[in-house]
């Protein structure tokens, strides 16, 4: 197995902090200064592959990193996300949570429009409530299935 997060010693030298199950480091292609990745120490591809303890460790570190980024960069907000699967933009096959600190006037995404952020350009009318209830019902019908 070759994994840049597991095997690259240069990334390990960038470690900011860690706990027993996860660690954090600055990404090499930041959206804004301080853009940090948090990864489980164990090599897992998706959040579903993690134990509950690993998930808690990831999000515990996220809170610590956010507080530090407020102090270090004056962050007033954050974009927090992960990509799951190649089709969704996951380029490293090891789960990683992005913590992107946001400040007034930074050069990252200037407006948060989910469809642009998620690669769905263009505006779209709001869906009718009846359609949304139908979608919800369709999804709920699979909750009972194995």
User: What residue ranges do the domains of the chain occupy?
Assistant: 4-120
Average pLDDT, the chain: 84
Question: E strand or H helix at 40, and its extent?
Answer: strand 36-40
Among 3.40.1710.10, 3.30.428.10, 3.20.20.70, 1.10.10.10, what is the CATH number of 4-120?
A: 3.30.428.10
Q: Which residues of 29-60 are buried (b: 16+ CB within 10 A; e: fewer)?
A: eebbbbbbbbbbeeebeeeeebeeebbebbee
Residues marked active site are found at 96
Reply yes or no on whether the pLDDT at 119 is more than 70: no
What is the rounded CA–CA span in Å between residue 116 and residue 132?
A: 21
How confident is the model at residue 116, as a pLDDT? 52
Cβ pair 104, 98 in contact under 8 A: no
């Amino acid at each position: 197995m070759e994994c840049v997060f597991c095997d690259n010693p240069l990334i390990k030298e960038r470690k900011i902090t860690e706990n027993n199950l996860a660690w954090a480091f600055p990404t090499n292609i930041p959206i804004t200064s301080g853009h940090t990745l948090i990864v489980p120490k164990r090599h897992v591809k998706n959040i579903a592959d993690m134990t509950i303890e690993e998930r808690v460790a990831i999000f515990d570190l996220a809170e610590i990193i956010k507080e530090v980024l407020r102090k270090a960069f004056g962050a007033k907000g954050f974009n927090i996300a992960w990509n799951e699967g190649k089709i969704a933009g996951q380029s490293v096959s090891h789960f990683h949570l992005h913590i992107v600190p946001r400040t007034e006037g930074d050069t990252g995404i200037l407006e948060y429009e989910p469809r642009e952020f998620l690669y769905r350009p263009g505006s779209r009318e709001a869906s009718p409530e009846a359609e949304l209830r139908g979608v919800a019902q369709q999804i709920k019908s699979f909750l009972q299935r194995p």
